[in-house]
Chain A
Amino acid sequence: MTKKEDADKQVWRHVDLVYGIRQVRPLVEADLGSGSWEAADIKHVDGLIRTLVEINEVIANMPTVKSVAEPPRWAEGLIVLFGGSGKRAEAVQGDLCERFTRDCATMTVDRARWLYRARVLRSLLPLVKRTIARAVKLTAIISAAKRFIIG
């Protein structure tokens, strides 16, 4: 590996650690003009990332409609109740929340809440069907195992 390639690798490791390449790469590339740097450029990239982090912190702490508006509790509860458990349930709740937050920025909170309820109700049936299918499969496996062990 050449010195230049090594420097590049180090720069991207830094970028990847803080944000993930996809989000930051276009910004860093636009700022530096090319995809290849000297080792000294790491400091510059670090500075750039620090600025990005600061900007993000400021945005996160801004008192916007986003932080005030919350999706309807009962609809959220339905997803918690029927959406299953674990990583997938968290992701479903997060996705619905993300849609709600985006809607709040483009329309009234009431309309965003109405849309959230509609989305939750549309999502329930497939999730419940999937949970039942999994349970049935698990029961079948357990009973087959029992038959095999007990005879």
Chain B
Amino acid sequence: MEIGVLEQQVLLAVMALHPDGYGVSIQDHIEKRTKKTPSIGSIYAALDRLEEKGFVKSRAGEKTAERGGRRKLHFIVTATGERALRESLAAISSLQRGLRWKEAFQIVEEAFA
């Protein structure tokens, strides 16, 4: 099953924050590392897709006054999710390796031109 870029970032954040990853902490984590801030809505849309695919599981957390008495929704990555993430990252790193080879060939070609 395919994973989008945001889904990848969300999965990595959920894994890093295990087992307390929730909307705000996931957003902060992604912002700190990528210098881009996905909206809360897009994070939840991604989490919804991931949960539908069986890559993450959610559990209701505690209510706090800071949140206007609303519950947090904590997420954890499932074994299937971890495997899908590994495959997806491996595919990207494989593509990167391909790029390096292309560059190397270009350098060699330029040297012999």
Give residues in A with beta carbon < 8 Å to B.
20, 22, 60, 66-67, 83, 87-88, 90-99, 101-102, 119, 122-127, 129-130, 134
Contact = CB atoms under 8 A, between A and B. Distances in A.
Contacts of B70: 90-91, 93-94, 97
A93 B68 contact: yes
B71 interface: yes
B4 to A, nearest CB: 12
Contact of B40 (A60, A123, A129, A134): A123
B45 interface: yes
Given A67-B65, A94-B71, 5 more contacts: A93-B70, A94-B70, A119-B40, A123-B40, A126-B41
Contacts of B65: 60, 66-67
The range of chain B's interface size is 20 to 34
B66 A130 contact: no
Task: Classify the secondary structure of A's interface with B.
Answer: helix
Contacts, number: 82
Contacts of A101: 66-67
Contacts of A125: 41
25 contacts: A22-B20, A66-B66, A67-B65, A88-B73, A90-B70, A91-B23, A91-B44, A91-B71, A92-B41, A94-B67, A94-B68, A94-B72, A95-B24, A95-B40, A101-B67, A119-B39, A122-B39, A123-B42, A123-B44, A125-B41, A126-B39, A126-B41, A126-B44, A126-B45, A130-B45
B48 interface: yes
Given A94-B68, A95-B22, A122 B41 contact: yes
A90 B23 CA distance: 11
B66 A127 contact: no
Interface of B: 20, 22-24, 27, 39-42, 44-45, 48-49, 58, 60, 62, 64-68, 70-73
Nearest to B28: A99
A87 B41 contact: no
A130 B48 contact: yes
B68 A97 contact: yes
B36 to A, nearest CB: 13
Contacts of B22: 91, 95
